[in-house]
Structure 1
């Protein structure tokens, strides 16, 4: 029996492992909702399409699967541009499926509802792929292309638009078949060359970026074989968490840069050498690297940032496992890597200012009170400090939008998405009094969906980091003191338990009370 394009779309998404969709229905998408009720896909309704995008982002980072949004044409997709840009900057797979007006109206600009002059052209500027489904029978191949674009090369956001007249058309449901494989296998000759260089090094080093998260176990095995310290960037924090070879500190710190400079072979896995990771303070003093080997799933990405001596274009896990199999001399440098990593950890902490150390203590208090938790952050002081140094126990256990694109208001929505993507790990969100006001209403989504996120609101009465920056540059501060609501009262209005504490001393006890509820909870920390 033939079914509508909207109904078949849901079936094909299920076959590709989609179990959650974030979206706000409208007249331009209801036909695509027709098949949802009989499916196993859970629909999450945020209060704003920007939050839908950030939830999809958090879901993807926590689960390792693409996050999916279903949005109306026009304002729905324009509201999602910011989270798509964040996802592109951080290489996060996100699928945005939207409606669009009837094909015959394209480019007419005659005042049709939600009309844009050229929606696909606009989305193509931020998506790694944007495609219009012109013919109903092409639905499956367009979805294949979208999933390949999200996962075969450098991951990122993909957009598919379905015209109103196309989504109502009747088609046959395609027979089930194998999905298109996307894991790239490394060239054996290049693997052998890289392995010889690493094995011959006396001071090897591994740099792990966000693209290394899915290869955490393989990287641990390789690091032990090489006795190589592993420096983790913001999006890789938690890889080798707690291991003797882990250096959970930013490559922007002088101590880490010295470690990099003294290494005679550097293996960079899934890292783009982005400025906000490797040159946060824009001092231009990132060191030259001897014998740089880069592993990346995207050949174009290898040409950005540091040009390598050896480039391995392959899936990170596949490449690292292949390298490990080639390493045979594993005893020559034993113990040296341990000492180098320990010294880098100690010297990195000693390099940080007292205020950052206080903020890192807050992170440590959270990880002790909520063991195994995932911390999702917004642009706020504690997160800035943690991006410089934070001991996180597991991969996918720390992420935020304070690097790269730097979208404010990311944390609360992404934390809800993360809790839905991986319910096994407790989720803690650290947001500021300014950032939370970008998406304050999403506290209601957390209650609707029963996601037990603990929201910690770092209330320092405004945009304090911007105020400090203005003062440091002899600028009279303006626009940095937006008034905040009574966050506890707002949470209560949504039915969420909440409390306010003064300073940081009461945080562990407050976290215990939050955990005991087993539900979403808000802790407002009023800090100087």
Structure 2
């Protein structure tokens, strides 16, 4: 078989890839030879950035790497933003691209799609970038990629294949089975010491990050047995379920949780980078820990970033949670639930004037779509849902307000999540500013008949930046932008759309949503905020 054919066979037969996101180009057509009969689904976005965001959403919703086929040069520069978001949030993504012929690389001959060093450009937003120089090396390079996905801190990986190798003969591997790779387990001595500190603690606190999403049952049980209040990051939302008495939600940036953190004598942080966009969303460096900090992470360097470490273990979060749980056969009693209740009362989220208008929004969507996956851009409803929303399981809430913080993520990432989890409803929370970055992906949603519900918060521009300008005494410029008539635009794409200005109208719109294909609901922010300031919808009106 050819190198291109071997690539598709390896992805499908060795690594179980069922979906590819890509836009064919003259440099990649050989990758498409026979793909139509391979059983692998190909989804064509309308922009390579959309391809990367779709792969990201697919990976977060399924736990499996999202895979992209990308053209040389402009295709790679287009997908870099999506790779940056995935790198910041440790999302497994495999980007396979073409590159110019081996004998022309780095020669500056002005060839089609030529870059001086495509690999050098991509290396800053990937775990590694590799140029394939021989078809014989393809199985090994793919094995390296999947070894990182399974055994290290994941992220995007880039493999570029020179166009003169696509139709080169390639020997098939001796066997098609994928190697079994197990992530590192924690050192028993370190686990025993961590357990001793947690046993002796009077005011423990647990911080759970996205690295824990593979083990929600164990995480929930450990929190219960330690009788310790627990906060999750945004990417770990739902890890403890939607009604755990010790759960503080993703609220470590708010004063009440910060006070609890300062008072904690032992802090256990698992699978979290303790980064700014989870713990310091007000950007004042106010999240401080004075107690002994135990950190568990796959990345040794991450153990010593952002907070002063007392005890660090390099380990897969799932194995560490399990190992710790064995040291606590029975539950401790340390007034943890009372501490959590006091902290939640101090948060008073539903009374916060910046959050309260979004309480009926979250309630309406939860009642109409209780099992939904929520995928968000950087927009006001997402910022509020980060604090307000409680969900029954992980992998049901993620957005671009964390990490790299890109705009345009919500719509294509929701499409990827819907492709990965076709039996679940998917909600895309987007704003009128951010959605314009990737609005063309409505065509992909219609073409693929993806029943994503697109909730578009329309506040006439970049409201978050307007607020920052106002707070810093900067005259507004470039933030009051003109938007199209989104309902008409959606109709032009063949997407059903409507408008809703109140929670009751939103509930009615959701009840009448189509059974096939995307559905856009535009919410006028001024109308919504005015209604919510004077009214409180009843539960019956929202169901």
Change (3 A) 1:277 1:28: same
Per the TM alignment, residue 116 of structure 1 is displaced from its structure 2 partner at its CA by 0.4
Residues 468-497 of structure 1: CA deviation (Å, up to 9, x unaligned)? 221222222111122111111111122211
The aligned counterpart of 1:13 is 11
Between the aligned partners of 2:463 and 2:154, the Cα distance in structure 1 is 34
1:386 and 2:395 correspond = no
Cα deviation for residue 361 of structure 1 reads 3.1
Matches within 5 A, 1:109-508: 109-174=108-173, 175-242=175-242, 243-333=244-334, 336-350=335-349, 353-508=352-507
TM-score by length of 2: 0.93
The alpha carbon displacement at 1:192 in A equals 1.3
Q: 1:102 to 1:287 in 2, by over 3 A?
A: same
SS in 1 for 2:159: strand
Mapped contact 1:205–1:228 kept (Cα < 8 A) = yes
Q: Which runs of 5+ in 1 are unaligned?
A: none
Q: Distance in 1 between matches of 2:177 and 2:321?
A: 30
How far the C-alpha of 1:284 sits from its partner, in A, is 2.2
Alignment of 1:30-179 (within 5 A): 30-174=29-173, 175-179=175-179
TM-score of the aligned structures, taking structure 1 as reference length: 0.96
Instruction: Report the Cα offset of residue 503 of structure 1.
Output: 4.0
Quick check: 430-439 or 500-509, which moved more?
500-509
Between 316-325 and 236-245, report the one with greater CA deviation. 236-245
Q: CA deviation at 1:351?
A: 8.8
Secondary structure, counterpart of 1:170 in structure 2: coil
Task: Give structure 1 regions of 4+ aligned residues with deviation exceeding 3 angstroms.
Answer: 350-353
What runs of 5+ residues in structure 2 fail to find an aligned partner?
Answer: 527-543
Counterparts of 2:184 and 2:337, CA distance in 1: 32
Structure 1 residue 23 displacement after superposition: 0.3
Secondary structure, counterpart of 1:441 in structure 2: helix
Looking at structure 1, the residues matched to 458 and 431 of structure 2 have their Cα atoms a distance apart, in angstroms, of: 6
Work out the CA distance in 2 between the residues paired with 1:178 and 1:127.
23
Q: CA deviation at 1:182?
A: 4.0
2:488 match: secondary structure: helix
Q: Secondary structure at the residue paired with 2:354?
A: helix
CA distance in 2, matches of 1:38, 1:130: 29
Aligned to 1:522: 520
Task: Please state how far the C-alpha of 1:27 moved relative to its aligned partner.
Answer: 1.2
Aligned mates of 2:250, 2:125 — CA distance in 1? 30
Alignment size in residue pairs: 523
User: 1:249, CA displacement in angstroms?
Assistant: 3.3
CA distance, structure 1, for counterparts of residue 347 and residue 363 of structure 2:
16
Q: Is the 8 A contact 2:360 2:503 kept in 1?
A: no
Distance 1:312 1:521, change over 3 A: same
Q: 1:64 to 1:350 in 2, by over 3 A?
A: closer
SS at match of 1:125: helix
Secondary structure of 2:97 counterpart? strand
In structure 2, distance between residues paired with 1:289 and 1:316: 24
| Per-residue deviation, residues 77-132 of structure 1 (Å, max 9, x unmatched) | 11000000011111111110000000000111111111001111111121110001
Report if aligned partners of 2:461, 2:479 keep a CA contact under 8 Å in 1: yes
CA contact (8 A) 2:411 2:438 kept: yes
Take 2:130 and 2:192, find their aligned partners in 1: how far apart are those partners?
40
Contact 1:120-1:131 within 8 A present in 2 as well = yes
